[in-house]
Amino acid sequence: MHSRTLIFVAAMVASSACAPGYAPSDSSDDDAALTEDGGIDAADAGTEDGGADVADASDPFDARTDTADTPTDDTGTDPDTTGGEDTGSSSCSPNHDGRVERDEVTLRPGLHATFRVATDVTVDTHGTEQSDGSRVWDLSGQFDGDHSVLVELRSLDGTWYNPEFPEADYASRLSDTEDELGVFGTDDQGLYLHGVVTPDDGLTRTELAYDPPAKILQFPVEQGATWSSDSDVAGWYLGGYWTADEEYQSQVDAHGTLKTPFGDFEVLRVRTDRTRTVGFSVTTQITYSFVAECFGTVATISSKENEDEDEFSEAAEVRRLTR
C-alpha cells in the first residue's frame, strides 16, 4: 500500500505531500518554479519524458506575482516574478499576517514545479529557535541521493477513474517511489484526499475511495490551528479487495524562516500525524509541511513509519522547492 501521503502539498503540498500561470524565477534562469504544462524541461525533472518522476502534488503552491516580498535566491537577489491568467487574482503580495488564506493557494490541473528530493536521510526538523519564538530551518544544502522531481497536478478529464470521483479536481503521484495517484478535491475550507488509483485500469488496478474524504489542509493556515479527519478506505488494491481506516490529525505548530535551494521563505509549519489501521496492524507517520503566503507548500519532511520522536532526525523523505 502507498507508504507516504505527503501533505499539501502538497500539497501538495505539496506531500504527500502538493497556482496561477507562472512562478517566481530568477530572470537569468529559464526554469520557472511553477508553470503551466510544458513550462519545465523534462531533463530538469530527472526524467526522459517529464512525467515518470511526477511526485506528490498535495503540495502545490501559489505563484502569483509578488514584486515586493519575493523569496531571496542563493545569489542574494530577488527572483523575478511573472503572472499568468487564472480564475483567481492575478497577483499576490505577502502581507505577513501569519495566515495563509484560501485565495493565496491556487490548486488546479496543469501546474507543476521542480523539487529536490532525498530519501532515508538525516535531517534537523526542530530548526534553530530565535528570541522571538520563531525558528529557522535550513534545507538548502545537499542531501545524499538528492535528485530533481517534477510535481504535477494532472487533469482528471479522460481518465478511467474520473467518473468514480465526481467531486475531485486533480490527481498527482503520492510518492517519488510509487506510481499510485492521489485524487484530490478542494473547496473554500480545505484540500481533501478523495481516493488513490493507478494511472491505468485493468485487473491489477488500484481504486480506493476515502469516505469521507481525508482533510489534508484547512484554511486559513495559522499558528495554533488544528483539524482532523477519520476515513474508511475501501476498494481495489493491485487487483485485490482492501480495506483500512486512516486518521489524520494536523496542527500548525511552529513558524519562522525556511531556507530552500530556491530561496528563503517565511513559513508556517504544519505537523500531520497519519494513523492507518489494517485489520490488527497499525502504522503511524509524521509529516511536517512548510507553507508560505502566495507560494503554498515549499517543503515537506516525512518520518519513517512508527516514529516515536516528535522532532525526529531520520527522515523517510525530504523535499524542497528548487529551480
Kindly state whether residue 257 falls inside one of the protein's structural domains. yes
Kindly state whether residue 215 falls inside one of the protein's structural domains. yes
DSSP state of 200: S
**CA-CA-CA-CA torsion sign (158, 159, 163, 167):** negative
Query: What phi and psi, each to the nearest 5 degrees, are found at residue 42?
Result: -60, -35
For residue range 176-190, what is the model confidence (pLDDT) as tens digits? Answer: 888 999 999 999 999
Report pLDDT for 151.
85
Report pLDDT for 36.
52
**What is the mean pLDDT of the segment spanning 283-306?**
95
For residue 61, give the nearest of 309, 304, 294 by alpha carbon: 294
**CA-CA-CA-CA torsion sign (131, 133, 136, 137):** positive
Grid cell for residue 47? 526524467
**Separation of alpha carbons 254 and 221, rounded Å:** 11
Kindly state whether residue 313 falls inside one of the protein's structural domains. yes
Kindly state whether residue 2 falls inside one of the protein's structural domains. no
Q: Are 17 and 289 in contact (CB under 8 A)?
A: yes
Grid cell for residue 275? 494513523
Report pLDDT for 68.
31
Cis peptide before 20 (omega within 30 of 0): no
Among 89-103, 143-157, 241-255, the range scoring the smallest mean pLDDT is 89-103
For residue range 1-48, what is the model confidence (pLDDT) as tens digits? Answer: 544 434 444 444 333 333 222 233 333 333 334 445 433 332 333 333
For residue range 187-246, what is the model confidence (pLDDT) as tens digits? Answer: 999 999 999 999 999 999 999 999 999 999 999 999 999 999 999 999 999 999 999 999
Domain count, the chain: 1
Report pLDDT for 18.
32
Mean pLDDT value across the chain: 79
Q: Are 23 and 68 in contact (CB under 8 A)?
A: no
Q: Label the pairing between strands 221-222 and 226-237.
A: unpaired
Report pLDDT for 23.
32
Grid cell for residue 306? 512508527
145: domain range?
A: 8-321
Prediction pTM value = 0.78
Grid cell for residue 81? 516574478
Kindly state whether residue 183 falls inside one of the protein's structural domains. yes
